Structure 1
Amino acid sequence: MSANTIEIIFPCPLSKGYGIPARQAWLLLSVYLFYRLTLACLFIFVFYSRWGSSLISIDNSWLYGYSSYSYLILSVISAICIVWRLTAYSLQAQLLIFSDILLLTLLMHACGGVNSGMGTLLGVSIASGGLLIGGRCAIFLAALASLAVLTEQIFADYTGSFQLTSYTYAGMLGASFFTIALLSHILAKRSEQTLQLADQQKNTIIKLEELNQYIIQHLQSGIIITNKNQQVQMANEASLRLLNLSVLPVNLGDISEHLSQAFESWLANPEQDFVLLHLSNRSEIHSRFMPLPTVHEFFYMIIFEDIALYNQRLQQCKLASLGRLTASIAHEIRNPLGAISHAGQLLSENPHLSIQDLRLTEIIQTHSSRVNHIIEDILQLSRHSDSRREKVYLKPWLTQYMNNFML
C-alpha cells in the first residue's frame, strides 16, 4: 500500500459503500470504550455506595449487580481486544453496541423500568453506533433499542413488576432513538464527505507538486532556490550540469565567490539583477536573480543560462531574419525580371531583327527563366508548409538534382 493511500474500513454489512478511515475508526472506538469503562465503574460504585439509593432506585439488586459486573467484564475484555487488535474493528464495534443495548435494558429494568431514566443511556449507545458503524446499521440499532425498551415494558406490565408502566414514555424514547440515529448518520456522512474532499485535495496537491518538480527538473535553464542567508534550498539537474557540480551545494559560495558577492550586491541594489560567471572549464554562464515570495517565507531564485546556447539562439534568430529578408529581396527582384523577360519576348517578335539580335533575345529569355527558377526556389524555402511523407526513387532524383545545380 502506498503512503498516500488511506485504509478504509466498511463496518456496516447493510451499507457496503459506507466507509470510515481506519485510524479515525479505532480512535472513536477507543473513546467509546473509555466511556463504557467509566460508566461500568459508576454502576458498581452506586451499587456498593451508601449514597447509591439517593442516586438510583434499585428494585432488583440481584439483576443490577450481575448486569453491572457483566458490563465491566465485557468492557475490560473489549479493551484488551482493541489494544492488541485481537478482533476486527467491525466485529468489535458491533459487539459493543449490541451488548450495550442488552445490558442497559437489563439495568433499566432493575432500576424500575423506563420511568427510572436509565433508558436515556441507550441514546448515547445509538449515537455511538451511528458514528462507529454508521450507514443503515444506525437505523437498525435504533429499531433494536426501541424493541428492547418496548419488550421490557411489556414484560414488566405482564409480570406486574412495577406499579406504574408507561407505554407513552417508551414510545417517545423509541422515537428519540430513531432521531438520534438519523442525526448521527447524517453527521457521520458529512464527516465522511469532508474526509473524502480533504483526501482528494491532498492527492491533487501531491500531483501538482510532483508535476512542478518534473517541470523544474527538465527545464533547459538551470534554477537554484536560496534564502537570504545564501543557503541553497533546491536545484534542478540543469543547474548542476551547467555549473559542473556533482552534488547539491550548501551555499552560493560553494558555487562561486563571484556569484555570492553578486547576490549580496543585488539585495542591496535590485536593479543589478544579473551577473556573468566564468567557470573553470572556460564556459560562461549568465545568472539572473529574481525574488520568490511565499506565504510564510521569502526565497530567491537564480536562473542560469549557458552563453553559448544563448548565442546559438541568437544566431538562429539572425538566420531567420536573414531568410525573411532574402525572400523579400527575391520578391522585389521578380517584378523587374518579369518586365525584362516580357520585353525580350516582344523584341523577339520583331521581324526586322537580325540573326545576331535574335540570338541576344534568346540569351535574355534563357537567363531570365533561369533567374526566375532561382527566385521560385528561394520563395519556396521561405514559405511555411506542412511536411508530408513521400516515396522518392533515389536514382532519378539524383539525376534531376545534378541537372538543376550543374554549371
Structure 2
Amino acid sequence: MTQRSVHTELNQYHLGLWYSAYRFIISACLLLVYLLTYPQLNSDYEYPHLYLYVLTAYLFFTSLQFLSLGRFKVHIPDQLMMLFVVDVIALSLLTLAMDGPNLHLSLLFVITIFAASLLLDAKKALVITLISVICVVYQLFLGSILDFTSLKNLTNSAILAFLFCVVYGSGQIAVKRFQLLENLNFSQSLELHRLQNINRYILEQIDTGYLVLDENCHVVLSNPAACHLLGMTTSYQQDKYPLYTTQPDLFELLKFEDLKSGEKFQFESQQSRYHIQVLVQKLVVPQQMLTLLVLQDAQRLNQQVQQLKLAALGQLSASIAHEIRNPLAAIVHANDLLPNSDAEQQQMLSTMISRQAVRIDRIIQDTLNMVRNKETHPTVLNLAKFIPIFIQEDLPDVQGQIRLNIDTSSNIAFDEAQLRQILINLIRNAIRHNDPAFSYIELNVRIQQKKVLIDVQDFGSGVAIQDQAQLFQPFFSTEITGTGLGLYLAHSFCEANQAQLSYVEQKQGACFRVSCQNVVIDS
C-alpha cells in the first residue's frame, strides 16, 4: 500500500468516526424525543410500536458500530459500508412506521446518502443510493399489496427518490474536488517534508553553527555544530526550548545587549571549551522577528586566515620570482658577453642591462603598491574639470591620441591619486594595443541609470576569449615586457572606492569600463 493510499484511508477513517458519532447522537435524540412526545403525538405514528422497536435497535447498532470503529482500525471500508446499510434499513423502517416520508426523516436520508458519497467509493455509494430509493418508493407498493399502508404519499416518495439521485451526483462532484485538493495538498506536504529533510541534512553536515532564536530567547532551530560549540547536548536540536536552560551564559549576554543585524562579537562560556565568534542576523518572518546567530570557532578562523595569508604569500613570492627571473637571466647573459665585445656591442649590451634593470624596478614598485594597501581618501570630483587637467598633467606625451567625450554633470566620490593611476594604466594600455590605422583612442564619460561610466576604448584586436577570465589576476599579461600588475592594481583601487572595473566586449577593439555612483551636488 502506497503512502498516499495510507493517508487517504486515514482521512476516511477519521471522517467515518465523526459520522459514526453523529449517528449515535441522532438515534439517541430520536428515541428521547419519541419517549417524551408519544403521549401527545401518538396519532402521528402509524405503527408506534414498530417506530419504538426500530429506534431502540438503531441506537444499539449505532453505539456498537461506534465502539467497533473506534477500537478496531481494520477493514475500514467494510465497516463504513455496514454503517450505511444499517442507516438505510433503519430510516426505511421509520418511514414505514410514519406511513410515508416526512421532512425530518427525508433530511436524515439525504445526509446519509451524501455522507456515503464522501466516505465510500462511487460504486458502493451508488448501491446505497439505489437501496434508499427502493426502500422509500417500493415499500409503498409492497404495503398496498399487503394492505398495511396506502399510496397516498407516493408523490412525496418519488420526489424524495429523485432528490436522492441529485444528492448522490452532487456528492460525487464534491468527492472529485476533495480528491483533487487532497492530492495537491499531499504532494505539497511531501515536497515540504523533502525540503525540510534536505535542509536538516545540510545543517547537520556543515561545521558552522546556526542558532535561531525567537523574541523570547527560545531556540527555534539549531544544528549539531551549534550544540557542540556551545557545549549543549544534541538532543536539544530537534525541539523548541528556552535558551537559559541550556546555555545561560549566552542568554545573559543576549538579554542585556541590544544586538544589531550584522554585528559580530566574541563569546566564551564556562560550559564550552571553545572561543566562539558570533555573527548576528535579524530574520523578519510573518508575524514575528527571529534572530540568527552564526557561530564559528574563533581559533579555527584565525588558523584559516593565517593559512590563507601564507598561501597568498607563497603565490605572490612564486609569481615575483617568476617575473624577475626572465630579466635577471637577460642581465646575467649580457654581463657575460660584455668583456669580449667591441664598443658598439658593449653599448647595446649596457642598454639591455639598463632596460632589464628598469623592468625589475617596475615589478618591485608595482608589487609594493599592491601590498601596501594604502588608505583611501575619497573626494568629490567633477570629471568634466578633472579629466582634461589630468590628461594635461599626467599624459602630456599622448594627449593628442585621446578623443574625449564627457558628460558635464558627472561627479564621483573617488580617491584622486588612485583614480589617476587607474586612468594612466587603462589609457596607456589602450594606446599600446590600438590599431596603427587609428590615430586615437576614445575616453567616454557618461551617466546611465544614476551610474557614471568611464569607458576607455581602443580599436585593436581586443582581448581573446580565453584570456578574459584572467584579465584582473596579478602577474597575468599577454605582453612579454608587461608585469601583469597594472590591471590588477586598477581593479583593486576601484574596489577600494566602491566602484567596479570590467571588460566590455566590442565588435572591434577592447573597452575597459569604470562604473561608480553618480554624486548629485546641490547648487
1:270 maps onto 2:267 in alignment: no
Asked if the contact 2:58/2:90 (under 8 Å) is kept, the reply is no
Cα gap change, 1:265/1:252 in structure 2, threshold over 3 Å: closer, same or farther? farther
1:83 maps onto 2:74 in alignment: no
Matched residue, 1:315: 306
Matched residue, 2:294: 303
Partner amino acid for 2:164? F
Q: C-alpha displacement at 1:182, in angstroms?
A: 2.0
Partner amino acid for 1:65? H
DSSP-derived class of the 1:276 partner? strand
Matched residue, 1:32: 23
Select which of 94, 114, 118 maps to 1:127: 114
1:182 maps onto 2:169 in alignment: yes
Asked if the contact 1:231/1:252 (under 8 Å) is kept, the reply is no
Q: C-alpha displacement at 1:180, in angstroms?
A: 0.9
Matched residue, 1:51: 41
Cα gap change, 1:84/1:141 in structure 2, threshold over 3 Å: closer, same or farther? closer
Q: C-alpha displacement at 1:260, in angstroms?
A: 6.4
Cα gap change, 1:43/1:191 in structure 2, threshold over 3 Å: closer, same or farther? farther
Asked if the contact 2:268/2:276 (under 8 Å) is kept, the reply is yes
Q: C-alpha displacement at 1:212, in angstroms?
A: 3.3
Which deviations, in whole Å up to 9, do the C-alpha atoms of 1:65-95 show, x marking residues without a partner?
Answer: 2243123223223303422557764444333
Matched residue, 1:362: none
Partner amino acid for 1:305? Q
Asked if the contact 2:215/2:288 (under 8 Å) is kept, the reply is no
Matched residue, 1:72: 56
CA distance in 1: counterparts of 2:39 and 2:215, whole angstroms: 69
Matched residue, 1:291: 282
DSSP-derived class of the 1:220 partner? coil
Percentage of matched positions with identical amino acids? 22
Cα gap change, 1:191/1:28 in structure 2, threshold over 3 Å: closer, same or farther? farther
Structure 2 regions of 5+ residues with no counterpart? 237-241, 342-469, 471-523
* Structure 1 vs Structure 2 CA RMSD: 4.7
Partner amino acid for 1:314? V
Partner amino acid for 1:105? S
1:104 maps onto 2:109 in alignment: no
Select which of 235, 244, 252 maps to 1:251: 244
Partner amino acid for 1:318? K
Which deviations, in whole Å up to 9, do the C-alpha atoms of 1:267-320 show, x marking residues without a partner?
Answer: 0x6389222346789964322333244434434333332233223322343344
Cα gap change, 1:330/1:52 in structure 2, threshold over 3 Å: closer, same or farther? farther
Which deviations, in whole Å up to 9, do the C-alpha atoms of 1:89-145 show, x marking residues without a partner?
Answer: 444433342233334334434433468995554323322322343432122211122
DSSP-derived class of the 1:50 partner? helix
DSSP-derived class of the 1:21 partner? helix
Which deviations, in whole Å up to 9, do the C-alpha atoms of 1:26-77 show, x marking residues without a partner?
Answer: 122111232233234445555x322342xx3x44x3xx42243123223223
Asked if the contact 1:108/1:114 (under 8 Å) is kept, the reply is yes
Partner amino acid for 1:313? Q
CA distance in 1: counterparts of 2:151 and 2:233, whole angstroms: 89
Q: C-alpha displacement at 1:265, in angstroms?
A: 6.5
CA distance in 2: counterparts of 1:282 and 1:138, whole angstroms: 68
Which deviations, in whole Å up to 9, do the C-alpha atoms of 1:337-389 show, x marking residues without a partner?
Answer: 89789999xx9xxxx99xxxxxxxxxxxxxxxxxxxxxxxxxxxxxx9xxxxx
More strand by share: 2
Q: C-alpha displacement at 1:25, in angstroms?
A: 1.9
CA distance in 2: counterparts of 1:113 and 1:148, whole angstroms: 11
Matched residue, 2:351: none
Matched residue, 2:345: none
DSSP-derived class of the 2:40 partner? coil
Q: C-alpha displacement at 1:181, in angstroms?
A: 1.5
Count of aligned pairs between the two proteins = 332
DSSP-derived class of the 2:207 partner? coil
CA distance in 1: counterparts of 2:58 and 2:107, whole angstroms: 21
Asked if the contact 1:115/1:166 (under 8 Å) is kept, the reply is no
Cα gap change, 1:188/1:38 in structure 2, threshold over 3 Å: closer, same or farther? farther
Matched residue, 1:392: none
Partner amino acid for 2:133? S
DSSP-derived class of the 1:51 partner? helix
Partner amino acid for 2:59? S
Cα gap change, 1:37/1:181 in structure 2, threshold over 3 Å: closer, same or farther? farther
CA distance in 1: counterparts of 2:52 and 2:41, whole angstroms: 17
Instruction: Between the two structures, name the one with larger relative contact order (CA 8 Å, sep ≥ 6).
Output: 1
Q: C-alpha displacement at 1:188, in angstroms?
A: 3.9
Structure 1 regions of 5+ residues with no counterpart? 11-18, 354-383, 385-407
TM-score by length of 1: 0.62
Partner amino acid for 1:304? L
Asked if the contact 1:90/1:133 (under 8 Å) is kept, the reply is yes
Asked if the contact 2:100/2:157 (under 8 Å) is kept, the reply is no
Asked if the contact 1:223/1:236 (under 8 Å) is kept, the reply is yes
CA distance in 2: counterparts of 1:297 and 1:162, whole angstroms: 69
For structure 1, which segment, 181-190 or 243-252, has the greater mean C-alpha deviation from structure 2 after superposition? 243-252
CA distance in 2: counterparts of 1:117 and 1:81, whole angstroms: 23
